[in-house]
Amino acid sequence: MNDDFIHLMYQSPSPEFARSLYTKLMQGEEDHPVIQQHQAAKRIATIAVATLCLITLILMVSPTARVTALTVMHDIIEKITVRGVTVLVSDEPPNTQPAEESVSYSMVWSPLSPDRISSDHPFFAKLPGWVPSGYVLQEQAALYYASIIETPPSSALFQWENEIGELIQLEVMQGSCLNGQFHDPDDLLHDRRSDCTLAIYITVRPENKQEVLTVHDQPAVFFHGIMGIADLSGPVQTWNPSRWKSFDDGTNGLTLIWENEGRTYSLITVSTTMTKQDLLHLAESIP
Amino acid sequence: MTNSPRFWEKTLLAIRKADWEAVYRTELPRIYNYFRYHVGDARLAEDLTAETFEKAWKNRHQYRNDLSAFSTWLFTIARNLASDYFRRARDEVSLENAVNVSDDEPLESLVQRRSDIEKLSMLLGQLSDRDRELVALKYGAGLTNRKIAQLQGISESNVGTILHRVMQQLRTAWEKRS
């Protein structure tokens, strides 16, 4: 039988409506937190320029200051040439409160087991060959999708836990920024960088300086502490990887981020025993 | 740089390169037609679509991991608005604006199409809330049974069974009235 009749109701929105609504939506953009971040970045850039002017004046009168300044500048240059990762030191209090509604909107991820991800989505199945003793890979793994519509997944999240509830989380994300560093304080989201299919934006408190390490011969950003992790608590089918568990204490945990072969990896641990070497060992064991 | 240390935080925020215009282009017809299948009236569907996007758009960047959460959020808002709407004005739905009129469309064709849509809208209006919701998600928003199952909290096979039964019911009624 012919079911064409059911499609009679379907019609495209009128172009006038689509255009006017989009214009209206984009007019409200100035109220958005991203713009606040943008403004914060501009403030930082302004301060940086002012500081540079001051340093220049000092250099003109003091040879000792000149040597010190060259050392500092070398350090800065090294940091901003980290490929694929933007590192921003900021004194802006980040918005640690997730959207009130976000806890409820947990539908567009698939609570798959790591085995299913390995078999059905091998691109994301980049599991380490080594984890510290006592940590067990959890059944709560997830695939995130870029859209509710049928699209390929955009990332996978795996979690390991030990007997006392300490965690390791590995997110394997599709995408990277292949054509060199993109530190750009005026464009934190890199929406206009056509070569970047994924950008990571990090702010690090200054007392916990980030280090540039190497994983699989690729630059990797390491720093002490995390702000939060995806909260995977609860039984399978009810837990919600879109739920974000924040930490008030910025000294918790370790973070390592790097890119390799079109993927960006984020490795986070909330543990009193794991070290930087453990994190590197784990990262290097990912094939 | 004068804030006290407690304001210094570390943030790890992964932000996918988000082409929001593309998201808008993709989601707009889905949300719009979701409402079309619910309310019939094109202008009312536009109003509800606009309300949905306005509620969701300003906070869209908070969805750190993927655009899927944003899409789901859109549908959550849309479903709540549809539910509110039917609570307020179920009997006030007008088909006056059910058809977008094209200048090029012959009058006879337009009349026939309007008649067909009125008939379909009436049949849809006779469905239960749940059945009509499933039809709107399937044929309006164009979602797969799997996605509908996730949104509705029921099994995928259950979605298929219900939709099959609803379509049989609609088909029979449609043919009777033709």
ipTM of the complex: 0.76
Q: At what angle do helices A33-61 and A63-80 cross, to 10 degrees?
A: 150
CB atoms within 10 A of CB A60: 9
Residues of chain A positioned with their CB less than 8 A from the CB of B113: 8
Q: Which of B8, B17, B117 sits opposite A196 (nearest CB)?
A: B17
User: What are the pLDDT digits (tens) for B23-37?
Assistant: 788 889 899 999 999
The pLDDT of residue A163 is 92
The pLDDT of residue A234 is 61
* pLDDT > 90 fraction of chain B, expressed in percent and rounded: 10
Residues of chain B positioned with their CB less than 8 A from the CB of A249: none
Residues of chain A positioned with their CB less than 8 A from the CB of B144: 150
Least confident span in A202-216, B6-20, B71-85, B149-163: B6-20
pTM summary value: 0.44
Say if CB B142 and CB A150 are below 8 A apart. Answer: no
Average pLDDT over residues B71-98: 70
Say if CB B45 and CB B39 are below 8 A apart. Answer: yes
CB atoms within 10 A of CB A150: 11
> Which of A86, A108, A169 should we substitute to test contact with B (largest number of B Cβ atoms within 10 Å)?
A108
pLDDT range class, residue B125, cuts 50, 70, 90: confident
Give how far A126 is from chain B: nearest CA, Å: 18
Q: Say if the Cβ atoms of A208 and B10 lie within 8 Å.
A: yes
> E strands, A20-152, where?
85-88, 109-110, 136-137, 142-145
Task: Please list, in sequence order, all residues whose beta carbon lies within 8 angstroms of the beta carbon of residue A51, skipping any fewer than 6 positions away.
Answer: none
Q: How many residues in total does chain B contain?
A: 178
Residues of chain B positioned with their CB less than 8 A from the CB of A204: 10
Q: What is the mean pLDDT of each run of 10 residues along chain A (287 residues)?
A: 79 85 74 43 53 58 57 40 36 36 36 85 93 92 62 82 92 69 39 53 61 83 74 57 55 81 86 91 95
Between B102 and A130, whose confidence is greater?
Answer: A130
The pLDDT of residue B129 is 84
